[in-house]
Amino acid sequence: MALEIYAYQCKKCGQLHYPYRMVCKKCGKNKHNEFDPVPLPKKGKLVTFTELYTLPGDFAVATLWLGIVQLENGVAVTGQLRLPKPKIGMNVIGQVEPVRKSEFGQNLGMVFYPAK
Amino acid sequence: MREVYAIGSAMTSFSRLEYPLSEIAAYPAMFAMQDAGISKIDHLYVANMGGGRVNGQTGLASAVVDSLSLTPAGAETIENGPASGASALKQGWMAVASGLHDVVMVIGAERMREVNNLEATDFVATLTHPLAEYIYGVTLPSLAGMFTRLYMEKYGVTARHLAMVAVKNHGNACLNPFAHLHQPITVEGIIDSPEAMTNNPFVADPLRFFDCCPVSDGGACVILASAETAKKLGKPMIRLAGVGQATDTHCVHERAEPTDLLAVRGAARQAFKMAGVKPSDVDVAELHDAFTILEIVESEEVGFFKKGEGHLALERGDTALTGKLPINTSGGLKGKGHPVGATGVGQAHEIILQLRGDAGKRQVKNAKIGFTCNFGGFGNNVVCLTFIREK
């Protein structure tokens, strides 16, 4: 089964949120964790990006490409990029992969590749 | 509500300091008390972000109030990320304005260089969302880098504009004996020269080394009091006339328009409204230039210039020491340094010096109205202050 990361949809008004929050940002009526998890779509457009040269100590790479991607359903996420030539507005496709390893284990997150 | 005045002010050098965090907090407090001519206070607020994590010291205010032999005055530590300093000033303002206290001491202190640069950057990165940002390796420079790229694309800001902010603020810092960096730089040297890629390497593309503030230790202190007390001391009457604060989404990716800094806009609006002045009335301002892009964008969001035109004002020299509206006369975070919890108090200290006419070689002529913007997280919690000299 493919790994998923979820957005959270308000059961009252349908607003999507990522990441999870306690109260709906649109209707404000959702007070009892009434959100449906909805898998994040994988296709999106690159909003902006950077190549980071000064990394936190637990990354064993020289630089890290990071970006914000607007997904098909309008939800935006931050993620790591594996794009040979990143450009604002380009189509990308994401997948869930390990993004950070530390002595306590590894974190899974969104990693984006060029859309074919 | 009562009116609130700054009666005493002081700071340590912002640099690498080889003494404990509690002393970094205590020294400027002693000098500020001397400046005010008082020996007792009613309450103490200490702004600090990293004591617990970086220095292994929690409950900093309790340590400092005792070290200064000011017990049994009440004391609290205030943490609001890099906006802790202005937040603590806001608490102090509330305490005096409400009538709860008459004389309140506000200290900001940080000792970040006890750890190496990577650890310091990682400590500040804990401000980001733990699951949706931090796990990816997102740091404050990376958020600033992504923001800068969009701003360049949308408004035509270039690497030269960013370098001009750095050159201006390094120049101002050279006139400030308390600044971290006393290093004049030129646009040619850091952008055009063959050595530029070596002396000014990328940190978070398109941001380079000279676009980012240094990691500093430092402390600052401002003492606030009621009008009655301030008048008795016979000091210039500098009123903390406007206080504003606003928040924005924790994750930068959740913002509807990612080039807007709505918390800056909201906080500034409140601080001007309360003071009864307009952005165009301001004579001198300290804006939170942790990254050069932020000085440009904050100068727009607080209302000094139209959105997307801050870099044009910079080009014209409007924000230079001799311009229409000098910004970051102290050197800003870029040149003066950025001991995170102390920064907001340090900004207020510079404005108080300017309004008193005590800013020496960097004095802005006849400065009557000053403004500060202290920016927490990547713009998710911002505090702005307006100061007015009354006579």
Q: Are residues A87 and A49 in contact, defined by beta-carbon separation less than 8 angstroms? A: no
Closest CA to B25 of B4, B52, B44, B6: B44
- pLDDT band at residue A100 under the 50/70/90 scheme: very high
> Alpha-carbon dihedral of residues B13, B18, B20, B23, nearest 10 degrees?
-40
Do A32 and A84 belong together in one domain?
no
Angle at B33 between CA B32 and CA B38, to 5 degrees: 150
Do A52 and A68 belong together in one domain?
yes
A57–B122 C-beta distance less than 8 A: yes
- Structure token pair of residue B340: 């995170």
Instruction: Report the residue from A52, A80, A109 with minimal CB separation from B139.
Output: A52
Instruction: Give the SS3 label for residue B371.
Output: strand
Do A97 and A56 belong together in one domain?
yes
In a domain, A93, yes or no: yes
Which tens digit of pLDDT belongs to each residue from B250-296?
Answer: 999 999 999 999 999 999 999 999 999 999 999 999 999 999 999 99
- pLDDT band at residue A6 under the 50/70/90 scheme: very high
The residues with which B383 forms a beta bridge, in sequence order, are B245, B374
Structural domain boundaries enclosing A26 = 6-39
Do A35 and A47 belong together in one domain?
no
Closest CA to B213 of B312, B321, B347: B347
In a domain, A61, yes or no: yes
Residues 257-316 of chain B with CB under 8 A from chain A are 258
Domain limits, chain B: 4-116+215-233
Instruction: Report the residue from A19, A52, A56 with minimal CB separation from B204.
Output: A52
Closest CA to B82 of B112, B102, B58, B115: B112
Do A24 and A58 belong together in one domain?
no
Q: Please give the pLDDT value at position B118.
A: 83
A57–B118 C-beta distance less than 8 A: yes
Q: Closest Cα of chain B to A108: distance in Å?
A: 8
- Structure token pair of residue B236: 């210039």
Residue A21 one-letter amino acid: R
Q: Please give the pLDDT value at position A33.
A: 76
In a domain, A20, yes or no: yes
Contacts of B78 (CB under 8 A, 6+ apart): B45, B46, B47, B48, B84, B87, B88, B91
Q: Closest Cα of chain A to B80: distance in Å?
A: 21
- What's the domain count of chain A? 2
Name the interface residues of A facing B (CB cutoff 8 Å): 18-19, 47-57, 59, 64, 66-68, 76-80, 88, 99-100, 107, 109
Using 70 as the pLDDT threshold, list the residues of chain B that sit under it.
Answer: none
Q: Chain centroid to CA B17: how far?
A: 19
Residues of B in contact with A68 (CB under 8 A): 146, 252-253, 258
In a domain, A24, yes or no: yes
Q: Please give the pLDDT value at position A57.
A: 79
- Residue A101: its H or E element: strand A91-102
Do A31 and A55 belong together in one domain?
no
Closest CA to B381 of B256, B250, B197: B250
In a domain, A96, yes or no: yes
Residues of B in contact with A88 (CB under 8 A): 149-150, 153
A77–B136 C-beta distance less than 8 A: no
Do A32 and A48 belong together in one domain?
no
Q: Please give the pLDDT value at position A30.
A: 75
Do A52 and A31 belong together in one domain?
no
- pLDDT band at residue A102 under the 50/70/90 scheme: confident
In a domain, A1, yes or no: no
**Homologous superfamily assigned to B4-116+215-233:** Thiolase/Chalcone synthase (3.40.47.10)
Q: Closest Cα of chain B to A92: distance in Å?
A: 16
Residues of A in contact with B254 (CB under 8 A): 18, 76
Instruction: Report the residue from B131, B146, B203 with minimal CB separation from A66.
Output: B146
In a domain, A92, yes or no: yes
Do A30 and A54 belong together in one domain?
no
Alpha-carbon Rg for chain B in angstroms: 19
Q: Closest Cα of chain A to B120: distance in Å?
A: 9
Do A22 and A72 belong together in one domain?
no
Interface test with B, best of A78, A90, A106, A107 (most B CBs within 10 A): A78
Q: How far, in Å, CA of B383 to CA of B88, rounded?
A: 10
Q: Please give the pLDDT value at position B124.
A: 93
In a domain, A105, yes or no: yes
Question: What DSSP designation does B175 have?
Answer: T
Q: Please give the pLDDT value at position A1.
A: 60
A59–B138 C-beta distance less than 8 A: no
B251–A78 C-beta distance less than 8 A: yes
Residues of B in contact with A56 (CB under 8 A): 118, 121-122, 125, 137, 139
A78–B136 C-beta distance less than 8 A: yes
The residues with which B258 forms a beta bridge, in sequence order, are none
Asked whether the predicted pLDDT for residue A103 surpasses 90, the reply is no
Which tens digit of pLDDT belongs to each residue from A58-70?
Answer: 888 999 999 999 9
Interface test with A, best of B155, B253, B260 (most A CBs within 10 A): B253
Q: How far, in Å, CA of B16 to CA of B24, rounded?
A: 11
Q: How far, in Å, CA of B315 to CA of B309, rounded?
A: 10
Asked whether the predicted pLDDT for residue A17 surpasses 90, the reply is yes
* Beta strand spans in chain B (E): 4-11, 43-47, 74-78, 103-111, 202-204, 207-208, 217-226, 238-247, 284-287, 369-376, 381-389
Do A57 and A84 belong together in one domain?
yes
For chain A, say whether B209 makes contact (Cβ under 8 Å).
no
Do A50 and A84 belong together in one domain?
yes
